Amino acid sequence: MKEKCLLSLFNVEKREYKMQRHHECNSGYPFMGIGFMLAGSAVFTPVTGNTVSVREGDLIFIPKGTVYYSDWAGHPDIAFITVSVDFSAEPSLAYKYKLQKKQGTKEQFDLISSCYDLVSSEDPENYHRALGYFYSLVDGLFDGLEPKTVTSSMNAISPALQHIESHYNDEIKIDTLCELCHLSPSALYTYFNALVGYPPIEYRNRLRIRKAVEMLSTNEYSIQEISDELSFSSPSYFRRVFKKYTGHTPKRMSQHTFSI
């Protein structure tokens, strides 16, 4: 594997549903995802780019930050395994490739299934073994993925991505991002819109809303506390931004489980 691939996050989940399911990822997929369709079929429709249809035996690659909706159909079952990762050494890698599918192989199925089985065991030693299977899974996979057409510019905004992801609770100044990337404001906005899908400040807001969803899911924080923690000017402004990106109020989100 030629790419730098040191992970800051690694998680494996198996999802199972019946018949039909509609899912909207309005605030952008929070990590890079590699999924294997075990049963059923799905259609992924991104805000930008081409629709991708997957069926049993296909691999689906979802770049970080992708805004999309998906429609799932079971015959009657829907089942898939998703590996979600984020990179510490090369964060731009998570954005580099476009949403796409690949015909999965038996070897890839065995590797991703082994990742799930080991992570599910909750044994720390098995977790590290699962990482080894993950590296085997992606070894050669990146070489076969189609990059975004403007991916050569991704490294230019990598310092800005790292800064926003590390300081999303702080005020983000465009001048600071431009200095980090040695870019003009117009070039910075052009690269962000083309590579990430939205401008820097919106990217920061989406990160804050993802964190708000995590905090709400614990049922340990009030709206006021979340608003203060994430540096929103007021709870009412937090509610407006939250509903803009999730389609739900914070109160409803705290009562139900939604993915963003």
How many CA atoms are closer than 13 Å to the CA of 80, on its beta-carbon side? 26
Residues in a beta bridge with 7: 87
Query: Residue 129 in contact with residue 12, Cβ under 8 Å?
Result: no
CA separation for the pair 249, 255 (Å, rounded): 10
185-195 and 200-217 helices cross at what angle (nearest 10)?
50
Q: At 42, which helix (H) or strand (E)?
A: strand 41-46
- Write out the CATH class of domain 7-144: mainly beta
CA separation for the pair 140, 27 (Å, rounded): 30
Residues in a beta bridge with 22: 71
CATH superfamily of this structure's domain 152-255: Homeodomain-like (1.10.10.60)
Residue 91: closest CA among 161, 185, 37: 161
The whole-angstrom distance between residue 203's C-alpha and the CA centroid of its chain comes to: 12
Q: What is the pLDDT of residues 175-219, one digit of tens each?
A: 999 999 999 998 898 888 877 778 999 889 888 888 888 888 778
Which residue ranges make up each domain of the chain?
Answer: 7-144, 152-255
Q: Which two tokens stand for residue 242?
A: 């939250």
Q: What is the pLDDT of residues 40-90, one digit of tens each?
A: 999 999 877 789 999 999 999 998 878 888 999 998 899 999 999 877 656
Whole-model pTM? 0.64
How many percent of the chain have pLDDT more than 90? 37
Classify 56 as helix, strand or coil.
Answer: coil
